[in-house]
Amino acid sequence: MNARNPQPAPGPAPTIPTLMDRLDQKIFDGLYSRSLVYNTCWEDPAVDRQALRLGVEDSVLVITSAGCNALDYALEGPRSIYAVDANPRQTALLELKLAGIRKLEFDDYFQIFGDGYHSRFRELYRQRLRDELSGFARSFWDRYYHWFSSRHGSFYYHGLAGFVARGFCSYFRLRPQLAGAIRELFTCKDLDAQRRIYDEQVSPELWTPTINWVLGRQLTMSLIGVPHPQRRLVQAQHQDGVAGFIRDAIDYVFRNLPAKDNYFWRVYLYGSYTRECCPEYLKPDNFAALKSGLVDCIEPHTCTVTEFLDKSEDPISRFVLLDHMDWMSSYHPAALIDEWTAILAHARPGARILLRSAQARPEFLDWVEVGAQHRRLQEVMQFDHTRAARLQGQDRVHTYAGFVIADVPG
């Protein structure tokens, strides 16, 4: 696909929202437009790295989210990483992480982003970090720098996802027996013992009617960045709805994958990482490698994927698109077609595309048409379903039903 089609074929008609849908969307838009949604990435970069196979000549476009995974990919030494997000608060968080790598020593950096708390953060921010930030990021952290030294004890209990995590931690404090069993999960060195603890002590106590009710509310989903169109995709494929889907995901994680290195779930249960259980960018040797120059390949951009690509002249060899296409496919199908058209127009021959979805097989892959000949994505790209399924089984988060690996022909 070498040229953009200025008038892509129309997709299905946008879903007509109900009154409740419109209310849910107003709440989601209100939260999203004023808040930091993600304080840590919720996609496993160890899986991504195996799929991406990054090299020194690669240029990567990644949805920023909390910036953790852009930093993870940078450790592979690609030529450039374009971190793109429509929410400027997510860009502000990545900018703060970049500034910290360049201006701080490791112990201070780990206290900030590993412990989620630094008693001297205000001083460090004012003296060493603030001048490194863009105007928006500076004004944002001028207002919220206290998140790293607050009475709640952790940055990871702030922002929308952090608010939900803090609520669940408060609930666990009321259930000390359950909290103790969860602690045991993260100290297990044997998967069989971990599975027994989960089956006998955690699962029977965790999945109460209260928890199921909370997980089934759209407000809860909005707080963790899941709009109602995506919630409906989950409900359509799971007989027990969102709560049942989340239960299956957590069951899989703690019954089949070692918890001792699962920093994704640990940070929301405890509000912090440990030196042994943390993202790669928070490990001393990796921090040093980023500081020595690897971090300089990362460029933050606040815009949509299409807006970025329309202005970029650099062919992209790797795309990491997370799950944002789910909601676009229901309510903005024309914009989704525009985005795919832009992606294929700016993809280097042989480029690889990763995306995640609330659907095991995203339906939009079957109806999006691009180019002058209106070819469907299934005709334009090559999909590696076998590798995607294998890697999906290793995913330590496991809250996406679908993982897609697609290649643009060379």
Residue 211 backbone class (left: φ over 0; alpha: ψ -120 to 50; beta: rest) = alpha
Average pLDDT for the chain: 88
Task: Classify residue 161: in a domain, yes or no.
Answer: yes
Q: Based on the structure, what is the number of domains in the chain?
A: 1
71-121 pLDDT tens trace: 999 999 999 999 999 999 999 999 999 999 999 999 999 999 999 999 999
Percent of the chain with pLDDT over 90: 68
- 211 falls within a domain: yes
CA-CA-CA-CA torsion sign (88, 326, 331, 341): positive
Domain assignment present for 246 = yes
Is residue 216 domain-resident?
yes
Residue 368 in any domain: the answer is: no
Predicted local confidence at residue 8, as pLDDT: 43
243 in a structural domain: yes
Sign of the C-alpha dihedral computed for residues 84, 123, 39 and 195 taken in this order = positive
Q: How far apart are CA 306 and CA 341, in angstroms?
A: 9
- pLDDT tens profile 285-326: 999 999 999 999 999 999 999 999 999 999 999 999 998 898
Instruction: Report the DSSP beta bridge partners of residue 357.
Output: 402
pLDDT score at 254: 95
Between 6 and 205, the more confident residue is 205
Q: Could you tell me if residue 203 is inside a domain?
A: yes
**Structural domain includes residue 37:** no
Q: Give the E-state strand segments of 178-331 in sequence order.
A: 298-302, 316-320
Please state, in angstroms and rounded to a whole number, the distance separating the CA atoms of residues 97 and 129: 9
CA distances 90 to 47, 68, 82, 84, 159, Å, are: 22, 11, 14, 9, 10
pLDDT band at 234, cuts 50/70/90? low
Quote the domain boundaries for residue 257: 155-270
Q: Which of 84-88, 162-166, 372-376 has the highest mean pLDDT?
A: 84-88
For the segment 369-385, the average pLDDT, to the nearest whole number, is 93
182-207 pLDDT, tens per residue?
999 999 989 999 999 999 999 998 88
